[in-house]
Amino acid sequence: MRVAIGSDHAGVELKNEIVSILNEMKIECIDLGTNGPQSVDYPDFGDKVSREVSSGKVDRGILICGTGIGMSIVANKFPKIRASLCNDLFTAKMSRLHNDANILVIGGRIVGKDLAKEIVTVWFGTEFEGGRHANRLGKIKLIEERFLKK
Ligand code: RB5
């Protein structure tokens, strides 16, 4: 499992915590920045991580901004991306079980590091259920393809 991770300035502290958590979990992690508290634009870092996942260069992605909303909007513009904003454990679990989410988005100004650790653990530890949920993902793919043809 290879994971790309990125954040803006509002998410950088939590991003660095999550990099350590992934190291502890022995999950290979590529940190695409940002690396400091200077103000940056979240679309730039959402772009870097989402293109890695969308192209298949990595298996999954993690994005953190202040609320997680901006990063979610950016990531879900990319083909094959199912980014889920998970600021609680139930959503993290369901995003894997029902949505086969491939990018985990967290709000760095909302979630503390202990909860983030639980969210990351649940998210990587939960498999997609398939079945009727796979049919629904198929419908999302058809919608995506409609736009790619234009
Ligand atoms: C940055 O101030 C903030 O707008 C950003 O981190 C994010 O919350 C956007 O959705």
Could you read off the pLDDT of 34-60 as tens digits, one per residue?
A: 999 999 999 999 999 999 999 999 999
141 C-alpha to ligand 1 centroid (Å)? 28
Which ligand 1 atom is at minimum distance from the Cα of 65? 6
The per-residue pLDDT for range 74-96, each reduced to its tens digit, is 999 999 999 999 999 999 999 99
- At residue 148, the pLDDT reads 83
How many independent structural domains does the chain possess? 1
pLDDT at 36: 96
Share of the chain above pLDDT 90, in %: 97
pTM over 0.75? The answer is yes
Residue with tokens 């513009």: 77
Told to judge if 65 belongs to the known catalytic residues of this protein, a careful annotator would answer yes
Please measure the distance between the N-terminal and C-terminal CA atoms of the chain and give it in whole angstroms. 33
User: What's the domain range around 85?
Assistant: 2-149
Structure tokens belonging to residue 136: 């629904």
Residue 20, classed as helix, strand or coil, is: helix
CA 116 to chain CA mean position, Å? 13
Alpha helices in the chain (DSSP H): 12-24, 42-54, 69-75, 89-97, 113-125, 132-148
Q: pLDDT digits over 109-148, tens only?
A: 999 999 999 999 999 999 999 999 999 999 999 999 998 8
CA of 34 to the centre of ligand 1 (A): 13
pLDDT of residue 125: 98
How much is the pLDDT for 149? 79
CATH label of the domain that carries residue 56:
3.40.1400.10
Assess whether pLDDT exceeds 80 at residue 150.
no
Residue nearest to atom 4 of ligand 1 (CA): 66
